[in-house]
Structure 1
């Protein structure tokens, strides 16, 4: 339930009461003051927009909406459990205005972007993973992302432009901060964590789609119906944006265009994916449309244009990603190559015990080659083959199996045969 307080000219309070009663309003009260009638109403979440629309003819009405759940109890008492479990979605006007309240000042936006960019830089530079998590918490990317989606859903072109400006202002600030920090410390090479962040999975598109959906549904759901805090959802949105921004700035400093390409791809994919899924959630779950209360200035073409542009960008990036291996698929291919080696060793080499197998693509490429380092730790259990002979046998087998999978990768093997006392079982 939501509490609304409406101040109207003297004598108009009864009309407001009747409108609220028609929408099954509870605990209605009317107080007459010197400046007019003051009406207090408790309504189901989803009926708030309808109620405000019904009293919109009262031009001088002053409305206060308390954006938090209210528990109302009324006869019969045996229905109390059902009454307090009213966790319907928020009304469209509350979703829209609640999203706008998160805009904040530009000074605060830049300040948090500087802090997030600095923390992300430290995390990538020192290889400290928990600092990347901290950067995701601080980075102010979730607010502009959700506002852009709300603007598209409600057809507000001006709001969409302002949200996108704030979006790119925050991202640009984080990129500049990471660039300057790398310049100051004279960083000339990529760190291992930068390489890890730059390697893209074949399922990377799922992260922005899930982040946009989670961010949208967090604003649509009643707070008592959500098991996840807004901060956690904001972190999920920033998780797809904070690391690539720092990666781009750091790589710009020493001109590693392979890392820059990966960072730009990730950043663009995240932006388009979040916009696409969040706007659809607001439109079809939250009912935030151009026909909503106070959305009279919205245009339907803005929503359609936003969805078309976002879909085209996502489709284009996916085509680019899957058009050639291994370029923008290294994270997934690493897992697949490792699995291929495990399978081949288990099924085709009976005299070898596998201790550990890893694969990783190198930071750069060789001319016409895509080197992938394959590290294997094995036990030779053969009585007829020496360690060197077994290494040669394993390497030839795995090179053949990797080539058969057409990964467009050139394996470079590092095989270590561990000491094994055959008398000890």
Structure 2
């Protein structure tokens, strides 16, 4: 339930009370002044927007909407549990106005972006994973992401432009912070964590879709109906953006175009995926539509055009990702190649596999990306020498370790352990 305080010209008391009853309002209080009647009432969340639309026929109504959940109790007392359990999503008006209200100041946006860029750079530089989580807490990416999706679902181009501008400012500031940190503390090569994070998986689209869905659901749901805090959802949105943003700054310093291009690909894909998923939630679940929010009057054409553009852009990026192997699928290819390696090693009966590892490197040999197979084995029931064991394993792997992409350069490191 939401509490509203409305003021209308005197003489409309009975009509307002009837309107409140029609919209299932509860515990209404009426106070009279010399020229106005003031009503304190409580409405179900989903009734607020339509109720306010009906107030337009009264001359200059004054409205105060308190965006906090209220528990209303009324006779019979035996129905109190059901009354308390009636939790509805927020009204479309509250969702939209709440998004605009959360914009915040530019100074705060820049400050948090600088802080996030520095923290993520330190985490990448020192290979400290928990600092990446800290950067996700600080990064101010969730607000512009949700506001851009709200703008698309509502068909409001000015809000979309301002949200995209804040997006660009936050991301650009984070990149510059990482770039200047690399200048202050020069790097000559990428750290292992940087290499790992730079690799893109073939399922990379799932993270922004889930992030956008979770972020929008958190905004639409009533606070007592939300099982996850807003801060946790903000981390989920930033998790898909903060690390690659930091990598772009470092990649620019090192002039490593593979790192730059893969990180830019991830950032753009994350933005598009978050935007599409959140827009769908706001439009269909939150009822934030061009004609569905009081005062709004958005453009339906803008909603559908922007949504179609985002969907087509995602499709184009997916086509590029899967048509350029293995450039943008190294993370998932590591897992797939490890499975194939394990399968082929099981076929060699004179060794016991102690350890195996597959990693793509940033080294280009003969114009092809390099994948390293590192295997540690223990000989069993064989009179072969260490050199012969290594040769036999490598020959078997070269012959049988085939993959759908032929344009990768394979190197082998075979270690023979002793008991």
TM tier relative to shorter chain: over 0.9
How many Å separate the matches in 1 of 2:35 and 2:379?
A: 93
TM-score between both structures, scaled by the size of structure 2: 0.97
Alignment match, 1:87: 87
The C-alpha deviation readout for 1:248-304, integer Å capped at 9, x for no partner, is 111101211110001110011011111111111100111100112335431011111
SS in structure 2 of the partner of residue 416 of structure 1:
strand
Q: In the alignment, which residue of structure 2 is the partner of 1:172? A: 172
Please report how far the alpha carbon of residue 383 of structure 1 lies from its aligned counterpart in structure 2 after TM superposition: 2.7
Q: 1:411 to 1:382 in 2, by over 3 A?
A: farther
Q: Which residue of 1 aligns with 2:96?
A: 96
User: In the aligned structure 2, how far is the partner of 1:110 from the partner of 1:122?
Assistant: 18
Return 15-24 or 201-210, whichever deviates more: 15-24
Residue 366 (structure 1) aligned with residue 365 (structure 2): yes
Structure 1 segments unaligned to the other structure (5+ residues): 421-425
Q: RMSD of the TM alignment (CA)?
A: 1.4
C-alpha displacement of 1:404? 4.6
Aligned match of 1:65:
65
Contact 2:326–2:405 (CA under 8 A) maintained in structure 1: no
Task: Please give the alpha-carbon distance, in whole angstroms, between the structure 2 residues aligned to 1:406 and 1:364.
Answer: 17
SS at match of 1:359: strand
Which residue does 1:337 correspond to in 2? 337
TM-score computed with the length of structure 1 as normaliser: 0.95
Pair 1:141-2:141 in alignment:
yes
Q: What is the aligned partner in structure 2 of residue 276 from structure 1?
A: 276
- 1:206 counterpart = 2:206: yes
Residues 237-246 or 5-14, more deviating: 5-14
**Following the alignment from structure 2 to structure 1, what is the Cα–Cα distance between the partners of residues 254 and 409?**
26
User: Cα deviation per residue 1:381-408 (whole Å; 9 max; x = unaligned)?
Assistant: 1233233222222222222333354453
What's the counterpart of residue 181 of structure 2?
181
User: Residues 362 and 370 of structure 2 are in contact (CA less than 8 Å); yes or no, is this contact kept in structure 1?
Assistant: no
Which residues in structure 2 correspond to 1:311-326 (within 5 Å)?
Answer: 311-326=311-326
Query: Where does residue 423 of structure 1 map in the other structure?
Result: none
Deviations 1:337-364 (A, max 9, x none): 1111111122x11222222111111123
Q: Secondary structure at the match of 1:107?
A: helix
Moved over 4 A (4+): none
Partners of 2:365 and 2:409 within 8 A in 1:
no
Q: Which residue of 1 aligns with 2:388?
A: 389
Residues paired across the two proteins, number: 419
Contact 1:241 1:267 in 2 (8 A): yes
Instruction: Note the 1:10-409 alignment, pairs <5 A.
Output: 10-34=10-34, 36-346=36-346, 348-406=347-405, 408-409=407-408
Deviations 1:87-106 (A, max 9, x none): 11111001111111210011
| Offset, 1:181 | 1.0
- Kindly tell me: are residues 404 and 215 of structure 1, through their superposed partners in 2, closer, same or farther at Cα, counting changes over 3 Å? closer
